[in-house]
Amino acid sequence: MNDAVRVRFAPSNTGHLHIGGARTALFNWFFARHTGGTAILRIEDTDQERSTEAYYDAIIEAFEWLGLDWDEGPYRQTERMALYTEAAKKMLDAGTAYRCTCTPDEVDEMRKKARAEGRTPKYDGTCRGRYDTDPDLPFCLRLKVPDEGETVVDDLLAGPVTFQNDQLDDMVIARTDGTPTYNFCVAVDDIDMRITHVIRGNDHLSNTPKQILVYQALGESPPRFVHISMILGSDKKRLSKRHGATSVLEFREQGYLPEAFINYLVRLGWSLGDQEIFSCDEIIKNFSIENLNLSSAVLNPEKMLWTNQEYIMKGDAGRLLELLEERLRARGLAPELLSPEARLGVVEELRTRAKTLEELADGAAFFFSPGVTLDEKAAAKFLISDIAAPLGRVREAIAGVEPFAPEGIKEVFEGVLEAEDMKLGKLAQPVRVAITGGTKSPGIFETLALLGKERSLERLDAALARIENP
């Protein structure tokens, strides 16, 4: 094996990139960056019935959102068939693979018989050492597993894991139609790409001895293996749709920042003291296989939201504004209704209240709508006849504020409150409902200033008209 670290992430385009796969990809990528090695993306698309171009595009889109720059790839197995054919022929010529003419029904019977006799249900080797030369008789190719001894997976996390060879099947490496099988392709690709370390989920551990035997059959040494823990839901069961979002693009749509998503996922199975928030450079500097955890990681949605909120609160306001504007336009709203300075002001006012970009857009929507949609319950409670006079006085008072800034707005509010002998809350909430449509917003003075005088007056006029003509 080459001394330089070479790792790969190899998803199948039979579905979206899910959160567990994304974490595996990140561990590979950060290990490569930490060691100065090479990170390779390989798409395992030989399952023609389930693989689609739409899923392929979605996987690529997910990595673009995460900002992972692969050093090589994406390679596609369907474009590498000649390589698998050549490797199969090499094994056949060396006697480490053989032709098998047994039908699927015959193999099923072999397994049923073995199960009934208390033996490992596997192919019984009927075709080892023989081949029917009838050219019309279909055959597959099988790996010839040693009858004795053991295959050891030297796992860098779990230590040596031993498999007895007599318990392993003579697995099919090429089907009767000539198409190669998963475990065979994986090993051949890893050899061709000079992979030094295979970091993947421990659900693949049972595949590893089969792939090691292919390595050995082709005269190659296997890479180092690292089988990481699975991600579990809060009920300690394997993560699935019932736990909520599982695909990377779903989390993007929910309003997660990619850097927050990466930070949380990497910390889900890797740790460095008590530190929770890491920049990408910090992860690269400190990442190591030794710091990976063997125990299963449990997804904590609340902690994930907390991490995202930390990044929203501390992120660059200009970038947050760009992301906010994308979501506003997707809702049919117009960011241009506010000046660039006011738009940034909206971000600064709302960023401490939002856990996701979607929440940020929810809170900002009223600023960028040409009118206001009233929450009927809030309107019925606060836009009542008793408030008409003080609301009208506020409307007239703020019309004269210049410049239209929080300090001046506050000053005229205080004048109205004194004249009406009211507390701020009794007046601010009706104004808030009139201006925003609901009962939640930043401070009322800041909200009015950001919305602007003209639009604030229009909304107050509309509220007063509603009170007069309910």
Distance CA 141, CA 172 (A): 6
Surface-to-core class of residue 209, CB atoms within 10 Å of its CB (0-12 exposed, 13-18 middle, 19+ buried): buried
Q: State the residue for tokens 């707005």.
A: 409
Q: State the residue for tokens 């309107």.
A: 379
Distance CA 178, CA 183 (A): 15
Distance CA 212, CA 231 (A): 26
CB-based contact 200:227 (threshold 8 Å): yes
CB-based contact 39:7 (threshold 8 Å): yes
Residue closest to 41 by CA, chosen among 10, 12, 17: 10
Distance CA 241, CA 224 (A): 33
Q: What strands lie across the sheet with 172-174, from one edge to the other?
A: 97-100, 140-143, 172-174
Catalytic residue among 89, 113, 241, 440: 241
Distance CA 188, CA 183 (A): 9
> Annotated catalytic, 314?
no
Active site residues: 241
